[in-house]
Chain A
């Protein structure tokens, strides 16, 4: 089955700790994205990557970091600098960055920081 996997589904961390969220896709898509969703708000773009070893900041990149060493993988690290890290995090991918390409989403990781 082709798709996007995110792990773990639920993640709990203490304040001040860095945490890495996993995202893997086997759709052979070039572009990958990380979004954050808070209750009552639309999704907001954190980082995106069009090709391997290249990525760009989205609208709310502060306190987050990413890497894109392989086409199929785009892990997100939530650092201790992120002031409000508790949220639902969604990974997505598409065939290309702009134009007519449809985005496909993973099942999400719910991060709770106490």
Chain B
């Protein structure tokens, strides 16, 4: 059974600092890995999807990397802003999504 872990559970940084969010998974036989953002009391918004054949994916200030052999993915958010404050979830896809518990980010103005 796939186990997905996100460390740390919470992170607080001053505005402008770069964010590094970690995700690890136990079974490397995945089709893809997806990063989501969740605001309090809301649904999930897809940020990036990395196919198993890719090493990274970029969208604006966001960059996600994937290393299947080591079972790790990292989400980088450059020049953080208070609007980036949210919970970030990663999920591996091996025909169904397995989610980590998330990292709650607070960006201080």
Contact = CB atoms under 8 A, between A and B. Distances in A.
Chain B's interface size range is 20 to 34
A42 B4 CA distance: 9
A33 to B, nearest CB: 8
A108 B43 contact: yes
Main secondary structure of the interface of B (DSSP, over half): strand
B95 A97 contact: yes
Contacts of A43: 44, 89, 91, 97, 99
A110 B40 CA distance: 12
B61 interface: no
Contacts of B34: 102-103
A107 B43 contact: yes
A53 interface: no
Contact of A102 (B46, B95, B101): B46
Given A99-B31, A100-B31, A102-B49, A42 B42 contact: no
B46 A103 contact: yes
Best-buried of B96, B101, B102 by chain A (most CB within 10 Å): B96
B96 A58 contact: yes
A106 interface: yes
B101 A40 contact: yes
A105 B44 contact: yes
B54 to A, nearest CB: 10
A55 interface: no
B43 A42 contact: no
B23 to A, nearest CB: 11
Interface of B: 4, 9, 31-32, 34, 36, 41-46, 49, 51, 89, 91, 93, 95-102
CB-CB nearest 5 A-B residue pairs? A42-B99, A98-B95, A105-B44, A107-B43, A105-B43
8 contacts: A33-B96, A42-B98, A97-B95, A98-B95, A100-B32, A102-B49, A103-B91, A105-B43
